[in-house]
Amino acid sequence: MTTDVSNLGGRQAGGALAVELTGLEGLKLPRKSWFPRSTVIRVLSPLILLVAWELIVRIGKVGEIFLPPPLSVLRVFVRLTADGTLPYAIWMSFLRTGQGFLYGSLLGIIVGLFVGWSQIIEDIVDPLVAAIYPIPKSALFPLFMLWFGLGDPSKVVTILVGVLFLVLINTVTGVKTLNPILIRAARDLGASERQIFLKVVLPGALPNIFTGLRLGAGIALILVFVTELEATNSGLGYLLWESYQLMLVQQMFACIITFGILGILSTWFIQWLEKVLCPWSTTVTRQ
């Protein structure tokens, strides 16, 4: 009797458990609760905060110029979305962040894998990383403007460098903490050095690579804001800064909230990617 394994696509709940459960009828077993208490509380908590915020401003204890009521922020948010201002700003910021993040993380993963794998490459790269890593990456932005001009490239490169180091360091950790017996087992099963690199080192480092990507996404958002304060008239950071200078408080809040939403979306995206690419990882199963 052989199973056609090509059809075993999805993850089965391998029979054993279901079998053990028969014959337990009549016992009082714990049941899945119908009331999603945790979810309800999690939705209520920010809602109550918003209501309180609205009330406090309405009652007039705080000047609207410092803290506009949520509803008026929402109104401005809708207007800015409808007239295209916000979508355009988001798109411009997304292009800069996306490019910087993509190139930075690819470079970080590739260099990180080699650094973790080869002592010689580590000896070459490590002192450079140690020297550059502690510099706040926003401090490099003026230098990059000098080198790459006032346009987008200097912003992209700043983001790239910020992401690169975080991904690189975490990738190296991933390779270094890989259990050496796995490499030995792969070699014992006939894997070539190249195959070990691609089929053992890379997947083995993936959970750490994802830690780097998560941190990198955070720094990318910070850096896109910082770099858009200067030498541009587009992007979310620019819009926020302009709102401040024109004292458009509602618009400021709309931008801040948008930054928050983008942060959440990028986190979700990376979590989703991790679930797809490393379904075995404990950080995935814990979520």
Partner 1 sequence: MENICAIRNLTKVFFVERTGEYVHALDRIDLDLNRSEFLILLGPSGCGKSTLLFMLSGLDHPTSGEITFTEKSHDNKRLTCTVFQEYALFPWRTVIDNVAFGPEMRRVRKRARYREAERYIELVNLTGFETRFPNELSGGMRQRVALARALANDPEVILFDEPLAALDAQTRRVLQTELVSIWSKTKKTFVYVTHSLEEAVLLGERIVLMSSRPGRVKEIIDIADIPRPRSTTNEREVKVLAMLAEHIAAEVDKSMRREREL
Q: For residues 36 and 177, which CB has a smaller minimum distance to partner 1 in the complex?
A: 177
Which is it for the CA torsion 210, 211, 213, 217, positive or negative?
A: positive
Q: How far is the CB of 74 from partner 1 (least distance, A)?
A: 45
Q: For residues 85 and 195, which CB has a smaller minimum distance to partner 1 in the complex?
A: 195
Q: Is 136 helix (H, G, I), strand (E, B) or coil?
A: coil
Q: How far is the CB of 24 from partner 1 (least distance, A)?
A: 21
Q: How far is the CB of 145 from partner 1 (least distance, A)?
A: 42
d(CA 252, CA 67): 10
* Site of interaction with partner 1 (CB under 8 A): 1-3, 5-6, 8, 10-12, 14-16, 179, 181-182, 184-192, 195, 199-200, 203-204, 206, 278-282
What is the longest distance spanned by two Cα atoms in the chain? 78
Q: For residues 191 and 222, which CB has a smaller minimum distance to partner 1 in the complex?
A: 191
d(CA 162, CA 154): 12
Residue with tokens 């490019």: 99
CA 135-137-138 angle, to 5 degrees, is: 120
Q: For residues 30 and 190, which CB has a smaller minimum distance to partner 1 in the complex?
A: 190
Q: How far is the CB of 285 from partner 1 (least distance, A)?
A: 8
Q: For residues 8 and 41, which CB has a smaller minimum distance to partner 1 in the complex?
A: 8
Other CB atoms within a 10 A radius of the CB of residue 69 amount to 18
Q: How far is the CB of 274 from partner 1 (least distance, A)?
A: 12
Q: Which amino acid is at 13?
A: A
